[in-house]
């Protein structure tokens, strides 16, 4: 993999924290809509399944924004690019907060998704360049921990805030978090050059001809889609399937967040063992845990530990796929680092959409978990194809060297 030289800084811890705060801002924004979906629906005068499409709008914005912003930013200094991306993120959150109709909110969520993947891609590269080469996976995981911690702190607080102060308030808070990130990145992150000789054309050519990149992305989009099919409708699952009071919804959202933190941390540790083996084992595990989710959803509080495990396993898969994509991207390092987030947000869009289709067809709010398990099965099959190709390539390389 082509990389910029390692960048040394006396503020390593603060720099990684600054990047993680950006992840916290993005994670809070991305997932808070799921916890306040009924309030959003009432606020703009649409049904809950229709309001669920604003989740898909954000995800589609990520998918569109990643290739465009990554290609244009491949040769730009990474610190300046991070500042611009997070500044735009804050502005579009403010637009979401003042949206007066469903159509304007849909547009605002789409625009807000544009900087998402590019920010995480560039932030992951910067964190990796600051760390010792042996700890690249751990450095990337620490940036992703900002996204995970958002689900423990930011999203539950946003859910509570949306229920008590109106659905617009959480988006204002997200804009403030973006402003804090801009300040911290400007102060602590060192100037980091792009890969020498990097251009958008060179990255695009290397990216689009790399089979491992595509197999990894598709496996991630399908396998992780099951998590979003389940998570997107957690508020209604808690109240209409588990038969718990609405006030307990933030507790279940917290369960998702705790699982995400634990899974992201675990992925960073497992990266020193084997990224590829971790992917296969935990992708297979995601199928079983979503089936368990479907079984125990009507039991009430027994659902909470299953919610935790669903996200723990899914987060190990997501973080490991980020490191895997960076490893196989070759000369497409900027685009490759960012495109995993496009894949994950395609999963977001796909999961939320499939969940809405299943619910509109007359099935209960726990039914999307079954559809999610089906998506995970397809993802595992594709991932096994990637493993087979990887082994064949390694064997052929060894034969040529021998």
**Full domain range(s) for residue 288:** 12-401
Written in H, E and C, the secondary structure of 271-338 is: CCCCHHHHHHHHHHHHHHHHHHHHHHHHHCCCHHHHHHHHHHHHHHHHHHHHHHHHHHCCCCHHHHHH
pTM of the model: 0.72
Q: Is residue 254, in this structure, part of any structural domain at all?
A: yes
Residue 5 lies inside a defined structural domain of this protein: no
Instruction: For residue 352, give the CATH number of its domain.
Output: 1.20.1250.20
What's the number of domains the chain is made of? 1
Residue 361 lies in a domain: yes
CA distance 216 to 351: 18
Whether 198 maps to a domain, the answer reads yes
Q: Is 6 a member of any domain?
A: no
Which pLDDT value is given to residue 248? 83
Q: What is the mean pLDDT of each run of 10 residues along the chain (402 residues)?
A: 53 86 90 82 83 84 80 75 93 92 93 89 83 72 83 82 88 94 92 62 72 81 80 83 83 83 87 82 90 91 90 87 76 70 75 85 86 88 84 64 55
The answer to whether residue 343 sits within a structural domain is yes
Residue 4 inside a domain? The answer is no
Q: Please check whether residue 203 lies inside any domain of the structure.
A: yes
User: What pLDDT does residue 131 have?
Assistant: 73
From residue 128, alpha-carbon distances to 82, 141, 236, 294 in Å are: 15, 10, 39, 38
> What is the model's pLDDT at position 2?
45
Q: Residue 278: its pLDDT value, please?
A: 87
SS3 breakdown of the chain: % helix, strand, coil, rounded to 5?
85, 0, 15
């Amino acid at each position: 993999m082509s990389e910029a030289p390692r960048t040394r800084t006396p503020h390593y811890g603060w720099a990684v924290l600054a990047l993680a705060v950006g992840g916290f801002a993005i994670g809070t924004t991305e997932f808070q809509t799921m916890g306040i979906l009924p309030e959003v629906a009432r606020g703009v005068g649409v049904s809950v399944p229709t309001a669920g499409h604003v989740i898909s709008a954000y995800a589609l914005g990520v998918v569109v924004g990643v290739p465009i912003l990554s290609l244009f930013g491949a040769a730009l200094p990474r610190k300046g690019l991070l500042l611009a991306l997070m500044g735009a993120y804050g502005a579009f959150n403010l637009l979401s907060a003042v949206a007066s109709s469903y159509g304007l909110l849909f547009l605002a969520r789409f625009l807000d998704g544009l900087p998402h993947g590019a920010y995480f891609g560039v932030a992951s590269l910067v964190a990796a360049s600051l760390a010792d080469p042996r700890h690249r996976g751990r450095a990337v995981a620490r940036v992703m921990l900002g996204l995970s911690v958002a689900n423990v702190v930011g999203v539950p607080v946003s859910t509570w805030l949306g229920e008590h102060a109106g659905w617009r308030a959480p988006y204002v808070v997200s804009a403030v978090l973006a402003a804090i990130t801009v300040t911290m990145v400007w102060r602590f992150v060192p100037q980091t050059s792009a890969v020498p000789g990097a251009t958008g054309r060179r990255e695009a050519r290397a990216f689009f001809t790399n089979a491992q990149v595509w197999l990894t992305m598709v496996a991630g989009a399908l396998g992780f889609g099951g998590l979003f099919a389940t998570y997107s409708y957690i508020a209604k699952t808690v109240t209409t399937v588990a038969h718990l009071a609405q006030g307990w919804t933030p507790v279940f959202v917290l369960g998702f967040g705790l699982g995400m933190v634990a899974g992201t941390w675990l992925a960073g540790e497992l990266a020193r063992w084997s990224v590829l083996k971790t992917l296969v084992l935990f992708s297979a595990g995601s199928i079983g845990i979503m089936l368990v989710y479907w079984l125990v959803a009507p039991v009430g509080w027994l659902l909470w530990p299953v919610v935790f495990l669903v996200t723990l396993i899914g987060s190990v898969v997501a973080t490991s796929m980020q490191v895997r994509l960076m490893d196989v991207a070759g000369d497409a390092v900027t685009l490759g680092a960012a495109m995993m987030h496009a894949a994950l947000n395609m999963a977001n869009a796909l999961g939320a959409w499939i969940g809405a289709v299943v619910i509109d067809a007359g099935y209960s709010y726990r039914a999307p978990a079954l559809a999610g398990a089906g998506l995970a099965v397809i993802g595992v099959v594709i991932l096994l194809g990637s493993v087979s190709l990887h082994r064949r390539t390694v064997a052929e390389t060894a034969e040529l060297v021998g």
